[in-house]
Amino acid sequence: MLSSALIRSLKMSNRPKVFISRSDYPEAGIKLLRDRCEIEVYNSLEKDVPTNELLNKLVGKDALFITSKNKINKEVVEAAGKNGVKVIATMSVGLDHIDLEAIKRTSIKIGYTPDVLTEATAELTVALLLATSRRIVEGHKTIVSGEWKMWTPTFMCGQGLYKSIVGFVGFGRIGQSIAKKLIPFGTSKILYSGPRRKHEGDQLGAEFIDFDSLLQQSDFVIVTCPLTSETEGIFTAEKFSLMKRSAIFINSARGAIVDQESLVHALKNKIIAAAGLDVMTPEPLPKDHPLVSLDNCVLTPHIGSATLETRDEMCILTAKNILAALDGEKMPAEYIL
């Protein structure tokens, strides 16, 4: 007769094995996995798991729980396939950190977290736009440094949203949510560019135009498109030169969509008025980077989805994606290649 300890051991050995790339994920989602799976957690908070360590962690695992900071390149994908990994679930909506072409040559499923972070990211983008256009951070600095000596009619004047033209590069869920939040400010026109005209754009009264025309007409240019081979580096010096000198540039998508040296040049030389960035290259941005020293650039540390509720929901959805894939069931949010 088998002892209770041996029975427990056998049950544990038969549980699916999941590698979790950080130890500080919200507990709500991790508990779902802990109750059903044998989990191994990468305990370093000082760094993201490097490729050579990740390759070792794949051995014997059925699933990976990652974020957009974990680079799942061709080497990792091939090793995951050979080791029998069934699902890679990322706590992000962007998938530029995963080699999807390599994934196509395997049976590995990909889970991601669309929808649940839309509103949080849209809110942060609006906050970044207002902070940049109305020079909130600059104004705060004048008080802290004692530079604010008196009120004058032209002191700290910025750009207003009222009667402005707002252009979106990419008009998916997040872009549409931002547009809905900005229209009540009394914007005169919403423009968007992308692969195709969208029914949702028509419903909002937005105008679909080409990329260059959008840059030339917009008072505010907001980047919400995904990072792909087609969008990488599309904001070049030439594109910034098309924009109004009074234009405000906002990016809450991915840093690599922008040629950052060209952006620095445009800001330093007043080719555009200002920029607000939640994403940049690299991340974290070094404190001595040229962007940090520019008064006309507002930076936030990639916190688009950083509300407690949203991060909980993202973690829970990531866990549910893993469990569904391991059970052979339909995943709540599978990325279909």
What residues are annotated to the active site? 302
Q: Is 169 exposed, middle or buried (0-12, 13-18, 19+ CB in 10 A)?
A: buried
DSSP string, 233-290: T-B-HHHHHHS-TT-EEEE-S-GGGB-HHHHHHHHHTTSSSEEEES--SSSSPPTTSG
What DSSP state is assigned to residue 232? T
Report the residue count for the chain. 337
Q: Among residues 159, 200, 163, 207, which one has the least CA distance to residue 185?
A: 163
**Residues near 278 by beta carbon (within 8 Å), at least 6 away in sequence:** 124, 125, 128, 251, 252, 299, 300, 301, 302, 303, 304
